[in-house]
Amino acid sequence: MPLAAPSRWFLTAALVHLAAVAILLILGSRDQALNGGWDGLVWLLLIGFVGFTTIGFALHLFPSLSRRLSSVGRFEMTLFPLAEAAVILGTWTLGWREIGGLPKWTLAIGPGLYVLVGALSLYRFARMMESPRVPSGGPAPRPGDAVTVPLFLSAFVAAPVAGAFFLASAFSHGPGFGWWLAGVHLFVLGYVVVLIVAVILRLLPRLFTADPPRRFAYGLAGLGVLGAVAVPVGMLVSTPSAPVLLEGLAFPEAALAVGLVILIPYLGWKARTPRRQVLLYLASASFFAVGGAIGLYMVSQMNYAWVDTHAFVGALGFVGLMIMLMWFGMIAPFQRISHAWTTRMLWVLSAVWIAMVVAFIRLGPGSSTASAGWLAALGGLMLAVSIAWALGTLPVLYLDLNPLPGLPSERIQKIRDRWGHP
């Protein structure tokens, strides 16, 4: 099923935003892109790259997952300009939060627009559930299918609530760890991770032709929703100097991370269709566990020096790598050159991405204040990945483009012949 225009817009813009994050890392402290403006980069990465990717795929996938009729209307066409305005204005104002020079009320513009985007998205999917159900004539449902739609809807409930936390942070720090950190964790755990769990339970069993035990799938879904609520609540009711309650409330999310690390090898072991990509999915889930372990260590020791590493391992290592894997699974970039190119480029880009995350880990405490040279090198890797990713994706989204922009068909044929089959 071809992607509708709004999905194409969101996915294209997501890669543009990823490239913009890379450019900010390259510029580093030379233009104060990161000195005091780290919140702006986090906003661009989470809302601009991760958020746009999830909305783009959700608009495409939800009708088939829910078996509901859908058509592109004014809500879908309105979402994109609103979301893009939220990203641009939020990155600009948050990036200058500590530098000064802007009225305080401007910090509310980007988050306020995102609340509207999240509310409209939730309204659209809720209304879609009221449309006629399409009878199923395909294979029998799998154990994880029953929780897919509830997880999708739960995630899109979390999105505007996370936006409301971001909005509140424009006016006050808030209780406990503050509105901003609670909003970041609700966005990542309540929105993104819950969506990832839904897609894993729906698509990976079909990819590997293997199913998890039904109770295990239901347990992961429950842990995802429970952890998504518990961690942000724990951050608001606990304080950095007394985070004992947060330690306990983080248990469901820790159990979810362990469950994913168990589930993926299990599916690979039971697979009737063995695929080496199971190693990449396992690497992504392992980053989730590592990032969570760093977070629990900081809370238990009341030492928050590793907060930047914790953030980047979770946002880039788990979420970023998982997005790349699912993107290649659903869109298959480079397929207009050959499927061999799709497979090989998946491994090449994933290897570079993993190396980039490992480098962030090796930077250790205070990654956001690391030397400009390190940040420039890591930003360069990210920029190279985003450009290659876009070169493979855009011809698939927009069929009137050449199979690889800038190369004539004769040259592409030679490349096909040289690469052969995987």
What residues in the chain have per-residue pLDDT under 50? Answer: 29-36, 421-422
CA angle 191, 193, 196 (to 5 degrees): 110
The pLDDT of residue 35 is 43
Query: Both tokens of residue 185?
Result: 């964790």
The pLDDT of residue 36 is 47
Residue 17 and residue 44: Cα distance in Å, rounded? 7
How large is the C-alpha radius of gyration of the chain?
A: 21
Residue 348 and residue 322: Cα distance in Å, rounded? 15
Reported residue count of the chain is 422
Sign of CA dihedral 285, 287, 290, 293: negative
What is the DSSP code string of 362-414? Answer: HH-S-GGGS-HHHHHHHHHHHHHHHHHHHHHHHHHHSTTS-SSTT--HHHHHH
For residue 68, list its beta bridge partners: 133
Q: Which amino acid is residue 115, in one-letter code?
A: V
pTM value is 0.90
Sign of CA dihedral 319, 320, 321, 327: positive
Q: Which amino acid is residue 314, in one-letter code?
A: G
Spell out where 99-141 has E strands: none
Q: Which residues of 223-259 are buried (b: 16+ CB within 10 A; e: fewer)?
A: bbbbbbbbbbbbbbebbbeebebbeebbebbbbbbeb
Q: Are 133 and 67 in contact (CB under 8 A)?
A: yes
Packing angle, helices 194-208 and 214-237, rounded to 10: 160
Packing angle, helices 339-363 and 278-301, rounded to 10: 20
For residue 133, list its beta bridge partners: 68
The pLDDT of residue 73 is 64
The pLDDT of residue 341 is 85
Cα-flanking dihedrals φ and ψ of residue 242, to 5°?
Answer: -145, 70
User: How is the chain split among helix, strand and coil, in percent rounded to 5?
Assistant: 75, 0, 25
Element (H, E) at 223: helix 214-237
Residue 362 and residue 359: Cα distance in Å, rounded? 5
The pLDDT of residue 70 is 66
Phi-psi region of 246 (alpha: psi -120 to 50; beta: other; left: phi over 0): alpha
